[in-house]
Copies of this chain bind each other. A is one copy, B any other.
């Protein structure tokens, strides 16, 4: 008994995520968002979200939830296998990096809702970090990775692999495994 929706909340967040990833949060404008939505006026957006900040935060939370859900399904029994699986997963959620860098830029002072969402994202980030640390520590205990390097650094380097441009155009999983090997074996000659 009402008009047909111009776009779903889902579509809105998809579009927002795409824009934020491509151009960064600082240049994320509702005008642009509305234009990219194809149908629907700018003001319609306010039916779904109270303000720009909430959109960005909701968007980031959604990506984070998605990632955490996948991360939880990784079997942590065998550290190396776990790391390989995690890398594959992060490779698919490659934008997470960009997003995490932008969460702090959200002005949270005018919207308690946005503040809460940002807090949740931070919390989940913590969860992911903890998982990596846990696995790395176990790997060190089992002696399968170097022990002469603090695991934070190992983790940090490992996490950066995601940013490597896939110049060989390999399928995501193969690419992940390829990088994993280099990370593990090193770039020097054997």
Interface pair B24/A146, CB less than 8 Å apart:
no
Q: Which of B25, B153, B160, B188 contacts A167 (CB 8 A)?
A: B153
Contact of A163 with B by CB under 8 A: yes
**A154 CA to B165 CA, complexed, in Å:** 11
CB <8 Å contact, B146 and A190 = yes
- Quick one: which of A47-75 are within 8 Å of B by CB? none
Contact across chains for A187 and B157 when beta carbons are under 8 A apart: yes
A40 CB → nearest B CB, Å:
14
Complex Cα distance, B26 from A105, in Å, reads 11
| Cα-based distance from A153 to B152 in the complex (angstroms) | 24
Determine how close the nearest CB of chain B comes to the CB of A133; give it in whole angstroms: 12
Residues of chain B within 8 A (CB-CB) of A185 are: 146, 186, 188
Residues of B contacting A7 in the complex (Cβ-Cβ under 8 angstroms)? none
The answer, yes or no, to whether A6 is at the interface (CB within 8 Å) is: no
Which residues of A, 13-71, contact B by the 8 Å Cβ criterion? 23-27
Q: Are B188 and A144 in contact (CB under 8 A)?
A: yes
Checking B143, B150, B154, B183 against A168 with a beta-carbon cut-off of 8 angstroms, the contacting residue is B150
Whether A164 is near chain B, meaning CB under 8 Å from some CB there, is yes
In the bound complex, what is the Cα–Cα distance between A183 and B146 (angstroms)? 12
Judge whether B105 and A145 touch: CB under 8 Å: no
Task: Report A99 CB to chain B, min CB distance, Å.
Answer: 14
Residue in chain B with minimal CB distance to A163 = B160
B105–A23 CB distance below 8 A: yes
CB of A105 within 8 A of CB of B187, answer no
Contact of A188 among B23, B153, B164, B184 (CB under 8 A): B184
**Smallest CB separation, A149 vs chain B (Å):** 6
Which B residues touch A150, using CB under 8 A?
167-168
8 contacts between A and B (CB under 8 A): A26-B26, A143-B189, A149-B182, A153-B164, A153-B168, A156-B164, A184-B186, A184-B188
